[in-house]
Structure 1
Amino acid sequence: MPDKRYEFTPRDGDCTKDLQAAIDQCAGADVTLVLCAGTHFCAGLELKSNLSMHLQEGAILCMLDGYERYAKNTVGVIAEDSDRAMLVASHQKNISLSGKGIIEAHGEAYIVGALEEMGTHIPAAKRPRTLVIEHCENFSLSDITIKDSPMWTIHMVNSRTVNIEHVCVDNDRKMPNTDGIVIDACEAVSISHCSIATADDGIVLKTSAKGNSLEPVGICKAISVAHCTIESHSCALKIGTESFGDFEAINFTHCTIERSNRALGIFSRDGGNISNVNFSDISVDCHETPQGFWGSGEAITVNCLDRRKELPAGKIENITFSNITGRMQGAINLYSDSPSGIDRIFFRSVALEQVEGPYNSGRFDVRPTHFDLAPSPDAAGRANAFVKDENGEVIGLVPYPDGQPGIFGRNINGLICENVEIKRPSPLPAGWNTNVFMMAKDESPLWT
């Protein structure tokens, strides 16, 4: 942190103009911008190269409500119909955000109703993300807490040399699409000692498309996630589903998954290949959630489905899970429905307790499918979340053949299991498969 400091004190009312002027002045001037203790009310801010911004303990950056307030902060990747964010850096370098302060994003202002059966709020059609860093280099985020994001919380896009540590994200557990940290087509990223609690994915790697095209923004490569604690009603540590570009050299290690739906997941849908991924030394606690959230309480899910006829899913290969312990209410699911396939999955020292759950036991979840991408106009549900068929059943929640096993595999090549133990109840719950392993090969596609 530079030695020189500029202290920005709280103002009455909206301080957006004054705070942006302070950012512009301090960036590149070797001066640290310090947000002093107190509440700072503001709308969209643009972060600049060579900015060092420090939120003192007790400082609250309180983002004002309203999607239109952030019209000047548009970004290149559209997500859930959102094209903007509260805080944005685009084509910048050497930015540091630090401190024990809080960013309050007021997601409750974007709730328009409730879906009690699904266990979620109904979100507003347009919601800003909280922080988007796109096409940047050498970005650091440390110690800050972000609360109640209305949409994706931290979104890193096509950036290099990123360090995120000791960051806390605390979101509404019923608000859809509130992913904690999204690493999107980035390289050389380190995430460590973070605490994420959210309704949607915890830490997720994506390779999105540019605008409304099918062209990837880039690839994800050399990503490290370590010593993080995650609570998620969707998937805690995830790759996909947006997977237009490749993923390689990814490491998730020494993490704790608490009170989550899915723990570890890889989802290929959009043409990018996923290879050389390691999950190691991770404890999991997986619980089923209502049907509005993807997943069925699985400790591990790897699946590959085509959701566009013109763009088959990419191949998944050389994935290792080692020293994975804990409990799950679902099963381990390895499911390939695409010709691209899943090849070389390694389980080494996996010890899980499987217990009965309250919602979906006996079913596995293959969402999202092409039904979620473009639902029929008369279908019940919410696009990219859930769609119901003519019988009122959620499309993509599928009964296990002959009941729930411990490990379910479909069209998997090269599955290697070493020292794998699934502890199951005795007697087994009604409808469970008596076999721990259930593997099917040469099955025809069901979801194309």
Structure 2
Amino acid sequence: MTKKRKIFIVDSAQGAQSLQQALDTAARQGLVLHVPRGVYLCGPLRLPSGTDLCLEEGAVLRFDPDYTRYASNTVDVIAEDSDRALIIAQDARSIRIHGAGTIEAPGEAYVEGLLEEMGTYIPSRHRPRTLVIDRCKDVHIEGIKIGLSAMWTVHLIHSDDVVLEGISIINDRKMPNTDGVVVDACRRVSIADCVIDTADDGVVLKTSRGGDGAPIGECREIRVRGCKIISESCALKLGTESFADMTEILFEDCEIAHSNRALGLFSRDGGRLANVTFRRLKLECRETPEGFWGSGEAITATALDRRGTQAAGIIENVLFEDIDGLMEGAINLYADRPGMIRNVTLRRVDIRQQPGRFNACRCDVRPTKFDLAPSPDAAGRANAWVRGEDGKVIGLVPYPGGMPGVFASNVENLLLEDVHVSRPDPVPAGFHPEPIVILQDQTSVWS
């Protein structure tokens, strides 16, 4: 294999225009573009086919906070109200970003206030995602650091053969919707040995709709291993956008700390979630304020309809194996009607359950159909929560008879093998006296 020659960009004062020109030139000539130590002020960047970008240690790409500058980097898949990105690759092949340098997003510029009750900032309505890989093939992102995202950090859309290895994502834990890595309708994706610390989901798989309203594709053959994740929401997750199938998914050998939910599957939009394995995972789950979905659950799988025109898809053939750690919520498996969740195995699961700082002892089934309607009190997060006439957040409900260690409702063919939940003795107020509660043929509540 012929080793590529290197070229360097050396003038940080010229900023984005110089960097974009250098990217285009290097890709056209088959060269590695090295960015040396220094701070480079950037506007929108587009990665052409053949990009080989090395951010050397101490190199910082610092992006302009002006949202209007990124109108040329638009994306068909809308995230919240975001339709653009700081860096984008579209319909490109053979892209590599590597090195020990940093991509610095302008997240602080999109904070409009603090909602103390919910524990979150009030974000600007329009915020750019940081890095979007859209309809690309053969993408490698290795070693770099990404920080201070205003919105989703790395969004992979309808792309094939993607490797993320050894990257670090550090965001502000009060900034909503700053998911670490979003794998959206992709095939053959490997995410390994990454560090993710963020307010929203850590690694999340989705199957979204495009601008025409149709699903953009399935999610298949995704592997996540050896990652360390801190998340104020769900660390390793499928859904909630689930318009097409997600199958052949493997999460293994990861460590999850200080997360509201560790492992989650959420079926809402018609796609099937199947053949999913969570294996050899260590976790720590803590309660957060109501503004973040979840209630300290180690494992949660929920299936319920939220659209009158489309029933939720089936969750089936799911294995949780060799899972241990701590939770302040429960293991929660909830289907709004029988048959929506089936063939689930928990094997060698050892969890210590303790009261949280809120001692809420509630089952969180969000998002529900109510979360599709904008809420005037959600402070920039229209689908985060909606309050009922009683003033309480809809979808946060007490467990019947108190919070057990394992709660399953309307789950078919649930197998528990060597499952142990250690609890305080005597059990605290709000806890169910039984460690395991399994209910069948329950009446639909949320669909």
Cα drift, residue 379 of structure 1: 8.6
SS in 2 for 1:22: helix
Cα drift, residue 431 of structure 1: 2.1
State yes or no: 1:4 paired with 2:5: yes
SS in 1 for 2:22: helix
Structure 1 CA distance, aligned partners of 2:28 and 2:21? 13
How many residue pairs get aligned? The number is 446
User: Which residue does the alignment assign to 1:32?
Assistant: 32
Alignment deviations for residues 123-160 of structure 1 (CA, whole Å, 9 cap, x no partner): 00000000000100000000000010000000000000
In structure 1, runs of 5+ residues without a counterpart are none
Moved more, 340-349 or 220-229: 340-349
Structure 2 CA distance, aligned partners of 1:329 and 1:157? 34
Structure 1 CA distance, aligned partners of 2:135 and 2:430? 51
SS in 2 for 1:259: strand
User: Which residue does the alignment assign to 2:311?
Assistant: 312
User: Which residue does the alignment assign to 2:88?
Assistant: 88
Structure 2 CA distance, aligned partners of 1:387 and 1:332? 24
Indicate if the aligned counterparts of 1:180 and 1:197 stay in contact, CA closer than 8 A: yes
Q: Please give the residue correspondences for 1:304-383 in structure 2 after superposition, counting only pairs within 5 Å.
A: 304-338=303-337, 341-375=340-374, 382-383=381-382
State yes or no: 1:276 paired with 2:275: yes
User: Which residue does the alignment assign to 2:185?
Assistant: 185
State yes or no: 1:256 paired with 2:260: no
Indicate if the aligned counterparts of 2:337 and 2:410 stay in contact, CA closer than 8 A: no
Indicate if the aligned counterparts of 1:242 and 1:270 stay in contact, CA closer than 8 A: yes
Cα drift, residue 382 of structure 1: 3.8
Indicate if the aligned counterparts of 1:151 and 1:177 stay in contact, CA closer than 8 A: yes
Alignment deviations for residues 306-348 of structure 1 (CA, whole Å, 9 cap, x no partner): 1101011100000000000000000000000156600000001
Q: Please give the residue correspondences for 1:45-56 in structure 2 after superposition, counting only pairs within 5 Å.
A: 45-56=45-56
User: Which residue does the alignment assign to 2:437?
Assistant: 438
* C-alpha spacing 1:376/1:50, structure 2 compared with 1 (3 Å): closer
User: Which residue does the alignment assign to 1:124?
Assistant: 124
Q: Which amino acid aligns with 2:26?
A: C
SS in 2 for 1:175: coil
Cα drift, residue 106 of structure 1: 1.7
SS in 2 for 1:25: helix
Alignment deviations for residues 394-434 of structure 1 (CA, whole Å, 9 cap, x no partner): 11100011111011111000000111100000111012111
Indicate if the aligned counterparts of 2:123 and 2:380 stay in contact, CA closer than 8 A: no
SS in 2 for 1:23: helix
Structure 2 CA distance, aligned partners of 1:257 and 1:128? 27
Q: Which amino acid aligns with 2:9?
A: F
User: Which residue does the alignment assign to 2:209?
Assistant: 209
Structure 1 CA distance, aligned partners of 2:436 and 2:171? 37
State yes or no: 1:100 paired with 2:107: no
State yes or no: 1:298 paired with 2:297: yes
* C-alpha spacing 1:21/1:340, structure 2 compared with 1 (3 Å): farther
Indicate if the aligned counterparts of 2:338 and 2:441 stay in contact, CA closer than 8 A: no
Cα drift, residue 3 of structure 1: 2.9
Structure 2 CA distance, aligned partners of 1:96 and 1:380? 38
Aligned-residue CA RMSD in angstroms? 1.4
Structure 2 CA distance, aligned partners of 1:55 and 1:380? 37
User: What TM-score, normalized by structure 2, do the two folds share?
Assistant: 0.98
SS in 1 for 2:156: strand
Moved more, 362-371 or 227-236: 362-371
User: Which residue does the alignment assign to 2:159?
Assistant: 159
Alignment deviations for residues 349-390 of structure 1 (CA, whole Å, 9 cap, x no partner): 000000000125321101111111114668998411111112
Indicate if the aligned counterparts of 1:15 and 1:41 stay in contact, CA closer than 8 A: yes
User: What TM-score, normalized by structure 1, do the two folds share?
Assistant: 0.97
Q: Which amino acid aligns with 1:3?
A: K
State yes or no: 1:265 paired with 2:268: no
Structure 1 CA distance, aligned partners of 2:12 and 2:125? 32
State yes or no: 1:137 paired with 2:137: yes
Q: Please give the residue correspondences for 1:192-203 in structure 2 after superposition, counting only pairs within 5 Å.
A: 192-203=192-203
Indicate if the aligned counterparts of 1:147 and 1:169 stay in contact, CA closer than 8 A: yes
Q: Which amino acid aligns with 2:308?
A: K
Structure 2 CA distance, aligned partners of 1:180 and 1:210? 21
Indicate if the aligned counterparts of 2:339 and 2:412 stay in contact, CA closer than 8 A: no
Structure 2 CA distance, aligned partners of 1:325 and 1:211? 41
Q: Which amino acid aligns with 1:33?
A: L
Cα drift, residue 212 of structure 1: 5.7
Structure 2 CA distance, aligned partners of 1:104 and 1:59? 10
Identity %: 51
Indicate if the aligned counterparts of 2:249 and 2:277 stay in contact, CA closer than 8 A: yes
Structure 1 CA distance, aligned partners of 2:391 and 2:81? 26
SS in 2 for 1:69: helix
Q: Which amino acid aligns with 2:57?
A: E
User: Which residue does the alignment assign to 1:21?
Assistant: 21
Structure 2 CA distance, aligned partners of 1:379 and 1:289? 16
Structure 1 CA distance, aligned partners of 2:336 and 2:3? 54
Indicate if the aligned counterparts of 1:199 and 1:232 stay in contact, CA closer than 8 A: yes
Structure 1 CA distance, aligned partners of 2:249 and 2:343? 16
Cα drift, residue 18 of structure 1: 1.2
Structure 2 CA distance, aligned partners of 1:40 and 1:345? 50
User: Which residue does the alignment assign to 1:111?
Assistant: 111
Q: Which amino acid aligns with 1:5?
A: K
SS in 1 for 2:253: strand
